[in-house]
Structure 1
Amino acid sequence: MTLSIGDRIPNATLTTMTESGPQPVESGEALGKGTVVLFAVPGAFTPTCSDHHLPGFVLRADELLAKGVDRIACIAVNDSFVLDAWGKVRGVGDKILMLGDGNGQFTSAAGMELDGSGFGLGTRSKRYAAVLEDGVVKELFVEDDGVGVAVSTADAVLAKL
């Protein structure tokens, strides 16, 4: 299955970093209540993700929240240690919930896998953004090539809210 508008997000165990270390969280719990903007990246610390995609959501977080968004979340096929370090380096703070999909369970169930083996990355997530209402996809912005950053930007999401 490839995630589409009208679909309920798949249930999978993700991890997030807390003060007491990495903690498992079910995707339905983290993303299934209220209005959530979810964006996915192929990899933390990769150039386009670090220089363009994530910073746009950090910069526009207050505007997204002012439009009625309850939570902004970033997911990547990385572990929560990497996502936590990346969030600290990029100044995410409490604006964005960083979710590790280390085994790619959520990404696979959503049909959003990207073959990054040609770059030494293995299986990763396509780059996309989604607006979720109580766990149901209301808007979906998937990059045609899976890696570009044209349609899944914070600006594109804002324009649809």
Structure 2
Amino acid sequence: MIEVGATLPEATFSQIKDGEMINPHTNNLFANKKVVLFAVPGAFTPTCSQAHLPGYVALADKLSDKGVDSIVCLSVNDAFVMDAWGKALNAEHVIMLADGNAQFTQAIGLDMDTDSFGGIRSQRYSMLVEDGIVKALNLEDPGRFEVSDAETMLKSL
């Protein structure tokens, strides 16, 4: 599992931007930037839609005021689902990133097998990444939502 002080591995993601599919790489998203990355087990799922993503949407300006260059929401879903979810929750200041094949999630060791729920998914976490280096990692215990929320991240900055 990735730890504080580690460099994020190189990975390619999928994203819908201005109606077009793009494939940003880890270095495009994190190099020379201060980024809050949070991951959810699945788009449109209850805790993710009612609390996790909405918290980051609500506090985007305050995170920016603390020097955060971008907020990234990651899920092992496809880019079209992530785009629709972001639009449904007015997440225009959050980069809705798809790790469709779980390449990144498995590379950082934060994957979990949810079996019939959806197969390989991401554990719920948040991290602060500066220039590709993990500066903070808030990993949730299974079934919990206590430390990866936007308010906790904001307080830590």
* TM-score interval, smaller chain: over 0.9
The structural deviation recorded for 1:9 is 0.8
| Count of aligned pairs | 157
Name the aligned partner's letter for residue 51 of structure 1.
Answer: Q
1:138 aligns with 2:120: no
The structural deviation recorded for 1:3 is 1.0
Distance in 1 (alpha carbons) for counterparts of 2:19 and 2:141:
39
Distance in 2 (alpha carbons) for counterparts of 1:155 and 1:81:
28
Return structure 1 stretches of 4+ with deviation > 6 angstroms.
none
1:22-73, Cα deviation, whole Å (9 max, x unpaired) = 1111122112331100000000000010001000000000000000101110
- Structure 2 SS opposite 1:13: coil
Identical-pair percentage: 46
Match of 1:9 in 2: 8
- Structure 1 SS opposite 2:67: coil
- Root-mean-square deviation (CA, aligned residues, Å) is 1.0
Match of 2:152 in 1: 156
The structural deviation recorded for 1:20 is 4.5
Distance in 2 (alpha carbons) for counterparts of 1:31 and 1:125:
19
Q: Which runs of 5+ in 1 are unaligned?
A: none
Shifted more, 18-27 versus 32-41: the winner is: 18-27
Match of 1:126 in 2: 123
- Structure 1 SS opposite 2:59: helix
TM-score, with structure 2 as normaliser = 0.97
Match of 1:83 in 2: 82
The structural deviation recorded for 1:19 is 2.0
Match of 1:104 in 2: 102
Match of 2:69 in 1: 70
- Structure 2 SS opposite 1:14: coil
The structural deviation recorded for 1:148 is 1.8
Name the aligned partner's letter for residue 114 of structure 1.
Answer: M
CA contact (8 A) 1:10 1:28 kept: no
CA contact (8 A) 1:142 1:152 kept: yes
- Structure 1 SS opposite 2:54: helix
